[in-house]
Amino acid sequence: MTPRHHPGGAGDQQVVGAAGVPARSAGAAPHAARSLPRSRGSSSPEGEAPARRPHPAQQVTEQLAARTREILERPRPEESEEQRAREKAVVHECRYLMRLLSTRRRSEGEMRGRLAEREVPADVAHEAMARIARAGLIDDAAFARDWVQQRRSLRALGDEALRRELEARRVDAELIEAALSEGQSDEEQRCRELVRSRIDHRDRERLREERDGSHRRRLSRRLDALLTRKGYPGDLAVHVIAGELRAAVEDPAA
């Protein structure tokens, strides 16, 4: 089935269409497809800002278009009406998955879950996922590594919280453990830095001045609740909190 050409479609019709790349029309000039000659000199004129790098979402979309054109465009010379309807549904779901991938990397289980939420028929969902997989756009190992790195950096999460988040996104247990161990920074050090950041100068003054230990107990409970939410082990939390509260009282420079 030959897809219709929609001007201004930014390549989308070619990415997920059911037919091959459209041939040049009969009336097109032979030289029409030639690229314009490049101007002499590759550097920008003095004083001009360098060309802006494309937005990450645009890069993902362009990459997906380039890598899926041959996979998703398959000539179907004698399709029945039912086959055409199914192909249209598959193309529709491929486009939906592409929109998801244009915002951030997704796990295979996460994308399958989104299709299930949309109540996509099983055969259509399977084919859409197969096409995305053949394009090399599903990589749960890379997804898990990126997730761990970003969440450690931005949210200071402990390994248990990261494990729960990846399990919720249906990543395989072996891939989760590999991501947690790969390039792993010291969990205790991250825990200490988090606790230290939550003890301000007023807390330190009250800890040094109090006699009954009431503020120390309140602050300890607050910090313990924080570390629990962040996914740090209980024994590590107790050890780090005790050490940092002691340092807040004893270290004059704190």
pTM confidence score: 0.61
User: What are the distances in angstroms from CA 24 to CA 4, 27, 114?
Assistant: 13, 8, 38
Q: Give the DSSP H/E element, type plus range, for residue 169.
A: none
Which of 81-85, 90-94, 221-225 is predicted least confidently?
81-85
The model's pLDDT over 31-73, given as tens digits with 9 standing for 90+, comes to 444 444 444 444 444 555 555 666 656 666 676 666 666 555 5
Give the mean model confidence (pLDDT) for residues 187-194. Answer: 90
Averaged pLDDT, 135-152: 92
In the chain, what is the straight-line distance between the N-terminal and C-terminal CA atoms, in Å? 73
* CB within 8 Å of 89: residues ≥ 6 apart: 120, 121, 124
The percentage of residues in the chain with a pLDDT greater than 70, rounded to a whole number, is 67
Q: How many CA atoms lie within 13 A of 96 on its CB side?
A: 19
For residue 76, give the nearest of 66, 61, 91 by alpha carbon: 91
* pLDDT confidence bin for 12, thresholds 50/70/90: very low
